[in-house]
Amino acid sequence: MSRFFNTTGPCNPRDHYMLPPAERLINAQLSRYIKDKLYWVLHAPRQTGKTTFLQSWMREINSGNQALAAYVSVEICQGITDPESAMPGIVQEIVSAARQQLGPGLIPPIPDVTPVSVLKGTLQQWAAIVAPKPLIVLFDEVDVLQDQSLVSFLRQLRSGFADRGVGLFPVSIALVGMRDLRDYLIRLKDGVALNPGSPFNIKEDSASIGNFSRTDVNKLISQHTEETGQQFEPNAIELIYELTRGQPWLVNSLAKKCVWKIVPEESKAPVTVEHVLKAKEMLIQDRAVHLDSLAERLKEPRVKKIIQPIMTGESEPNLAEGDDFRYCLDLGIVSADNGTPQIANPIYREVIPRTLNQGMQYAIPLPEFKWCRENGTLDMAALLKRFQAFWRRNADLWEQKSNYTEAFPHLLLMAFLQRVTNGGGRVEREYAAGRGRMDLAIEFAGTWTIIEIELVHPSSTRIIEFRTMIPAPAMNPIMEVVEKNAPSR
pLDDT digits (tens, 9 = 90+) for 360-411: 888 887 766 567 888 888 888 888 888 888 888 888 888 888 889 889 989 9
pTM metric for this prediction: 0.87
How many beta carbons lie within 10 A of that of residue 79, not counting itself?
A: 9
Handedness of CA 339, 431, 276, 254 (dihedral sign): positive
Pairing of strands 135-140, 172-177: parallel
DSSP 8-state secondary structure symbol assigned to residue 436: S
**How far is CA 192 from each of CA 158, 185, 188, 189, 383, rounded to the nearest angstrom?**
22, 11, 6, 8, 54
| Domains recognised in the chain with CATH numbers | 21-209 (3.40.50), 214-286 (1.10.8), 293-485 (no CATH)
pLDDT tens per residue, range 69-105: 999 999 999 988 899 999 999 999 999 999 999 988 9
Beta bridge partners of 40: 174, 205
Closest Cα partner for 180 from 150, 141, 206, 149? 206
Cα–Cα distance for residue pair 349/206, rounded to 1 Å: 28
| Backbone phi and psi for residue 488, each to the nearest 5 degrees, phi listed first | -70, 160
State the pLDDT at residue 402.
Answer: 86
* pLDDT of amino acid 458: 52
Q: What is the DSSP string of 146-200?
A: -HHHHHHHHHHHHHHHTT-BTTTB-SEEEEEESS-GGG---B-TTSPBPPTT-S-
Closest of 435, 421, 277, 297 to residue 355, by C-alpha: 297
Q: Tell the burial category of 302 from Cβ atoms under 10 Å away from its Cβ (0-12, 13-18, 19+).
A: middle
pLDDT at position 88 is 95
Tabulate helix, strand, coil % of the chain (nearest 5): 45, 20, 35
- Say whether 127 sits in a helix, a strand or coil: helix
CA 43, CA 39: separation in Å to the nearest integer? 14
- Say how many CA atoms lie within 13 Å of 251 toward its Cβ: 25
Angle between helices 408-421 and 380-400 (to 10 degrees): 130
In tens digits, the chain (489 residues) has pLDDT values of 689 999 998 999 999 999 999 999 998 899 999 999 999 999 999 889 999 999 999 999 999 889 999 999 999 999 888 999 999 999 999 999 999 999 889 999 999 999 999 999 999 999 999 999 999 999 999 988 888 888 899 889 999 998 999 999 999 999 999 887 765 544 433 444 455 445 556 677 889 999 999 999 999 999 999 999 999 999 999 999 999 999 999 999 999 999 999 999 899 999 999 999 999 999 988 877 777 888 888 999 999 999 999 998 887 777 877 788 988 988 899 998 777 899 999 999 999 998 998 888 888 877 665 678 888 888 888 888 888 888 888 888 888 888 898 899 899 989 988 888 776 778 888 988 888 888 888 888 888 888 888 876 554 455 556 655 544 333 333 334 444 443 333
